[in-house]
Amino acid sequence: MLKFDRAEFIEKEKTALGMIPQVEKIVDEVCQKGYSNIFYVGIGGTVTYAWQVESIAKSNSTLKLYVENAADFLAMGNKNFNKDSIMVIESASGDTKEVVAAVEYAHTQGVKVIGFIEKPDSPLAKMVDYLITNDGGTYYYWYAVTLRFMYNNGEFPEYDEFMAELKNMPEALADVQEKNDEKAKAYAERYKDEPLQYLMGSGNLWGWAYCYAMCIMEEMQWMRTKSISAADFFHGTLEVIERDSVVVLFKGEDNGRKLMDRAENFLHTICNNVIVFDTKDFELKGISPKFRGLVSPFVMNAACRRVSVHLENERKHPLEIRRYYRRLNY
Amino acid sequence: MLKFDRAEFIEKEKTALGMIPQVEKIVDEVCQKGYSNIFYVGIGGTVTYAWQVESIAKSNSTLKLYVENAADFLAMGNKNFNKDSIMVIESASGDTKEVVAAVEYAHTQGVKVIGFIEKPDSPLAKMVDYLITNDGGTYYYWYAVTLRFMYNNGEFPEYDEFMAELKNMPEALADVQEKNDEKAKAYAERYKDEPLQYLMGSGNLWGWAYCYAMCIMEEMQWMRTKSISAADFFHGTLEVIERDSVVVLFKGEDNGRKLMDRAENFLHTICNNVIVFDTKDFELKGISPKFRGLVSPFVMNAACRRVSVHLENERKHPLEIRRYYRRLNY
């Protein structure tokens, strides 16, 4: 299988699982000290990961949680941000300029920052008050932070049970990639040169649809996309879909699924290129049925890794290339 | 000037201003009775109007305000919604199915609903607990609701001053349309057949950029668009912009303007089709400089009316035509 080393993948995921007890310790300490509200702050991909767990919190929690795009937050402010707020960030590079500025701003307000920073010697790793560092494992971080805050708020009583099952995720996600490889390859072969593709998600996968369109297809493949939520689709975007349009659906198993079903049924009546990636197609050994909706972002992310690998190969466009980002100033 | 009757426009706006005392009375009554939090619920265009005033509240208020897409809200729930919440909606048709369902759900929870419904004999007009009805005037409604809640929360002390100045808005917005006509016509003539256009906004105009792309260009003109916030632009979408791409910037005068300046400066180095609609180009007689940022959505909406008229004409595509919406079931 192209660019896939099962053992290496599983090893890396297992190491990422090791972050969870560290996150728990930090969140417990923050909760013990007390806080007024929680700000998840990111930009580009990182804010879309925060949206995915925000969706989970919104349905299941009364946490005072705000998700902010770092640049918007800095420019516009949020009046609910105060000295007792806690900020939560994530950065792979550790030097994303808008996030660096947001952390600097938080510190001027006396706000403490929890950060998952992949590069331990980067500016952000040195700046945050509570550092988690690891090579990869974003979802483990965001889930542990969110669910632990909820648990400490008297919500999500299945916390321990869920975290025990999460130990099965590395193997399950390796299976997902193997299972989705052929479909991902067929998709990439057929649609690699489309002038425009629509990506749709709902619930905890709306953030992923937005992210995959913007951070992978636009940024790393220079493919034109529009992401649209299954809810909004019927209020404008449907009118531009024609027989030969290309619409990719990311279907998960949370309560947003019914919105995707509705869109999928409709699309089949007007469009011949409806591609469905569905978390239901994967077994997820060791994950209880009741948690499948909750973990849909983990699953879809793994499924899409194969799409990325095949798009990269079919388009002969390595994912690392950028035309402008970090080349031109802005 | 094509499809523009100044006297008629001003008359209609003045009538809409008449809603404000009615809104104040309702919001005052709600505040006196007490509420736990506020839910602005809409779908398609209406939720994007709510986003525009949410942006204003976020920067200036500690109101517990949640903005929900009606379909997402119904499917996913929001744990902060409770019997003491107050719901605020808007509907032109008065029968948008997701909004009807949201109001029904609110009532099962004992939640009262404030609604601006244009058609007085429609289902939603009969369902809401506090009805405002008028032919047009969405912004007057959203601004009055939001700013009155803020005022009653001890914020926005300039309330009376602002509302007094708002009486100058009908004439000012008529001027905006006259001033923007030529530019809108030139834009429509040149770009009417583009295969894809990017629309960008920030701050209280991000919702407008999203709305204009989806509700006007996609829904009413069947033009392909992608809306992108000025903040996120640099984290993916920039990579697909080339010399001949078409990017339309909606620049306002709130604190989000600096993000638009940054994007505009960058875009001019890589793209030859950067079209800027800027609220600064308009005089706005009778509106104080300190309120210009606050009213940018009013202004941009008026400016874009001319774009819509000319797109409709140049494309020979009346704004009323729908291919699927309210023709096929979903």
- Closest residue to B218, CB basis, from A45, A231, A239: A239
Q: Do A59 and B80 touch (CB under 8 A)?
A: no
Q: Largest alpha-carbon pair distance within chain A?
A: 57
> Which token pair is B34?
């007490």
pLDDT tens digits, B245-297:
999 999 999 999 999 999 999 999 999 999 999 999 999 999 999 999 999 99
d(CA A24, CA A283): 28
Output the CA–CA distances (angstroms, integers) from residue A79 to A82, B60, B306, in the order listed: 8, 6, 35
pLDDT tens digits, A13-26:
999 999 999 999 99
Q: Do B215 and A226 touch (CB under 8 A)?
A: no
The predicted structure's pLDDT at residue A330: 82
Q: Is B267 helix (H, G, I), strand (E, B) or coil?
A: helix
Over chain A (330 residues), the average pLDDT of each successive run of 10 is 98 98 98 98 96 98 98 98 98 95 98 97 98 97 98 98 98 98 98 98 98 97 98 96 98 98 97 98 98 98 98 95 85
Confidence of residue B86 (pLDDT cuts 50, 70, 90): very high
d(CA A102, CA A99): 5
The predicted structure's pLDDT at residue B15: 98
Q: Which residues contact A165 (CB under 8 A, 6 or more apart)?
A: A286, A287, A288, A291
Query: Which bin fits A5, alpha (ψ -120 to 50), beta or left (φ > 0)?
Result: beta
- Angle (deg, nearest 10), helices A296-314 and A138-152: 160
d(CA A13, CA A172): 11
> Looking at beta carbons, which residues of chain B come within 8 Å of A43?
231-232, 235
The predicted structure's pLDDT at residue B231: 96
Q: Do B78 and A58 touch (CB under 8 A)?
A: yes
Checking DSSP bridges between strand A65-69 and strand B112-117, what pairing results, if any? unpaired
User: What average pLDDT does this structure show over B112-120?
Assistant: 97
CA distance B222 to chain A (A): 5
> Looking at beta carbons, which residues of chain A come within 8 Å of B62?
79-80
Confidence of residue B9 (pLDDT cuts 50, 70, 90): very high
CA-nearest residue of chain B to A224? Answer: B240
The predicted structure's pLDDT at residue A141: 98
Q: Which residues contact B234 (CB under 8 A, 6 or more apart)?
A: A44, A71, A325, A330, B263, B266
Q: Which of B235, B245, B319 to mutate to test the interface with A (most CBs of A within 10 A)?
A: B235
Beta bridge partners of B189: none
Q: Give this complex's ipTM.
A: 0.96
- Residue B325 pLDDT more than 90? no
Q: Tokens 């001949």 — which residue?
A: B244
Q: What pTM value is reported for the model?
A: 0.97
Q: Do A236 and B218 touch (CB under 8 A)?
A: yes
Q: Which of A76, A98, A255, A315 to mutate to test the interface with B (most CBs of B within 10 A)?
A: A76
